[in-house]
Structure formats: C-alpha cells, structure tokens
Amino acid sequence: MRENTLLTSDDSESDRTSRRNLLGAAAVAGSGLLAGCLDGSSSETEEQNTSSQTADENRVLIVFFSRTENTQAVAEIIQQEVGGELFEVLPAEPYPVDYDTLVSQVDEENEAGYTPPLKCNVENIGTYDTVFFGAPTWDMQLPPPMKTFLSEHDLSGKTVVPFNTNGGYGVGSSFQTVADRSPNADVLESFSTRGGLERDGIYLAIKDERREEVHTGVTDWLQNLQI
C-alpha cells in the first residue's frame, strides 16, 4: 500500500481477535447477526425504524468495512441519526494483523484487480431503499472487500450515500469507484473525515471529544442531504 494509509479495527491484536470471536459466537447463538455480518444492535432511533415499517417508509442499510473502529464509529453515528441496520463487510479470509504484511497483500490485490470473497452477503438487499456505504482509504483506493460487495449486490434504483475515514491522505479514488460501480443508483454527496493512522500506531481516533466533533459533522452532512 504505497501511501501506508491503512486504518485498523482495534487497539491491539488481542482486541481484534476477541472482537472477531465475539461476532462468530453471536452468529452461532442467533443473536441478530446474519452470518456474523449484520449487526442487530439498535439505537433509540432505530427502534422506531424496524421491520414493521409500512411500504411507503424508507428502509436504510448502513454498510461498512472497518479495520479500525473509525469507520464503524461513523456508521454508528449515522444509525443514531437515521436508524436502519448495520452490516459489516468481512472478508472470508481475514487480513493479516501485521501491518507491513497487510500493505503488501493489498498492493498485490489492487494490482491484480482481485476482489476477495466475503464472509456473508446481504441476501435481502432489494428490500432497502437507501444504502450508506462506508470504508477507510486503502492504497488511495476503496478496499478490495468493498469492491467485492459492489460486484455482488445490485444497488440499481437505490439511493447510495458514501462515507469515508482516512489517515489524512484523503479519499483517493474511493468515491469515484462507488459511483462507477453503482451506475444505476442515485449516488448522493459523500462524507469524509480523518480517522486513525495505523502506520504511526494511531488506531481508534474517533472517540470521546473527537467522536462528538465527527457526530456534528455527520449531522450537518445529513441535514444538507435532507436525509
């Protein structure tokens, strides 16, 4: 990854392992996760936006990929504001924990145009009207698993709302890739904010006061979109 701009999901390797194990256990227990990817947790707003919605109500899906929990933090803020369901994109084969090994692997995947298989997909994607789509910047691009998601899910006719976290280098070609791979969707104005910088040992940055700042930015963005 030429710019070494990857973000991570957790503050330590043990935390990452613990979180993945928890996802797997929850899936087995039937606790509202779909194959470990669909997060059944709900905010107060979401409790009013459940499967009992009438046909004329907008159904919202918030898709995110997050090696650190920075992109996840933005996804959770969006859910607090608009409701909907969270869906975490997980590759079938987890990426290496070691940063340098990860950088090399993602470089190779991008150069080869490889899109890794996912742990699970959204089987009922057709039931959603609005899809928020969030990821960190990897190699100045959209992470390969998110490219896989776009190739395996038909977003035609939907409102697609991209969002991004990055280590200070910007979004690269991420938002353009979302637009290019969703040609029959209505792609709205995107949101981007600075998260962590794994290369420098900065992991979850969107927390405490910084999370409140990002929350304000997300709220203003959503208001401008009238969502």
**CA dist., res. 50 & res. 189, Å (int):** 26
Q: Which residues of 179-188 are buried (b: 16+ CB within 10 A; e: fewer)?
A: eebbeebebb
Residue of higher predicted confidence among 55 and 100: 100
| pLDDT-above-90 percentage for the chain | 74
Tell me the pTM: 0.80
pLDDT of residue 179: 98
The winner for highest mean pLDDT among 11-25, 29-43, 50-64 is 50-64
pLDDT at position 134 over 90 = yes
- 224: Cβ contacts below 8 Å, ≥ 6 apart: 189
| Mean of per-residue pLDDT scores for the chain | 82
Q: In this structure, are residues 195 and 138 in contact, taking their beta carbons and an 8 Å threshold? A: no
Average pLDDT over residues 178-189: 98
- 133: Cβ contacts below 8 Å, ≥ 6 apart: 63, 64, 146, 160, 161, 162, 163, 178
Mean pLDDT lowest among 25-29, 48-52, 185-189, 203-207: 25-29
The residues spanned by each domain of the chain are 13-43+53-225
pLDDT at position 58 over 50 = yes
- In terms of CATH, what superfamily is 13-43+53-225? Flavodoxin domain (3.40.50.360)
Average pLDDT over residues 109-128: 97
Average pLDDT over residues 47-76: 75
* Side chain identity, residue 24: G
pLDDT at position 18 over 50 = no
Average pLDDT over residues 205-211: 98
pLDDT of residue 57: 59
Q: pLDDT for 142-162, tens place per residue?
A: 999 999 999 999 999 999 999
